[in-house]
Structure 1
């Protein structure tokens, strides 16, 4: 079968982002390093963490350990994302926080993608934080910058800010068939942002939904419901961030490039009228 989904997308910053990432929220910190190494073994090259997750050092350690054992793989083949938390917003706070984020992952030498974790704080705080993030790009310690949980209003304000030097390359938001956010996703794509979909497996709430089981049956049960959700996200052009700590699911969540959902199956899964977030909602913050 012809593979219809690329393994990487080109960001507006001219770097390449792998199209499936391992989300690391809520992974036990004592297990995180090993989980990351296992993920690299089965083919993951993109890892998503945050200051809030309290596991940046463990994620970076896993990457560093693995690279030492696999010198044929270069650092620039692995994509590391972290996010500033709301309490670190504002110019001085963000400058200090970015330095802390970089210091935590010294062996990686730089951060591939740094995000604002939310729009909370208001326009001035967002602009001050963005200024600090832009300076980190100029310093070479961060390659690309982006946002998370931003609504259209927040993005428009940032685009209109006269201090804007580097546009956000991604907006990471919760997206699933039951939380499609089509207007926001379309706006991001139109403006050249890659849409990253967190909680693509709905934190397990919909994993046994009859619609998913029906499609799994149509595929002769060669793909499980989690793989169908990840594939749905990919076929919409998003970068899904599935999370798991078991090796079997690490492998299956990445085994999503060798099949295709039909147009009818995609439409069957789409629920544009639904609004069922499983995580926090702040795309409508002031």
Structure 2
């Protein structure tokens, strides 16, 4: 963590190449560059918020559980960075009506579930210190996010992560007394939330029979190359990165990137992020 006055940020420039690795810290080399990110569009998946926005929320929760003052202090420093107006105001963004007011109202454009995830983390800190301004900032951002999809059925973004994180944020806002969003949660879960769940073993097996991903290095290959794990037999299982034990059966009840049948048009690939966020 790099500290600058009353705020702090996590550097995003590591030594490895490729998506999901270029922002990693190296125990041997440290950071390649510790300069401060100047735009929300930096970081993994083109989003600083998606990359590290959840961190202050974890720290704030740890403070509430343990009373650790250092965790609360760092959470506040990270929140003060993540709420800087320049990270919300994006000149030339795809919604020209946003620019100029976002820093106050959390009206944003860009990576959907990255922003929602960050709003939830900011709320965790706001609850821990009872900051009314930050609570209102998050409430405003949540209401804005509802306008970015079809809220009555919980259809947000192009991934299941969007629906799951909107459920989480609505619950947190309601629990904190910032608003009453139980009806929202009910709509999200009963509609798109249930559609995202992989409930049919037959449908999952159909996915396994579909085309293999081609034209790009697979995620496992990237991990193996980045951490020096031998990948001598690309058609065999490489532990501990891979497991082929009853994969279809064990996937029943999990959550997909998109609801079937639309998600079933995709290639076979890992969807672990949507599983956990669901």
- What's the TM-score once normalised by structure 2's chain length? 0.30
Kindly indicate which of the two structures has a greater share of residues assigned to strand: 1
Between Structure 1 and Structure 2, the one with more helix by share is 2
**The structure with more radius of gyration:** 2
TM-score, normalising length: structure 1: 0.29
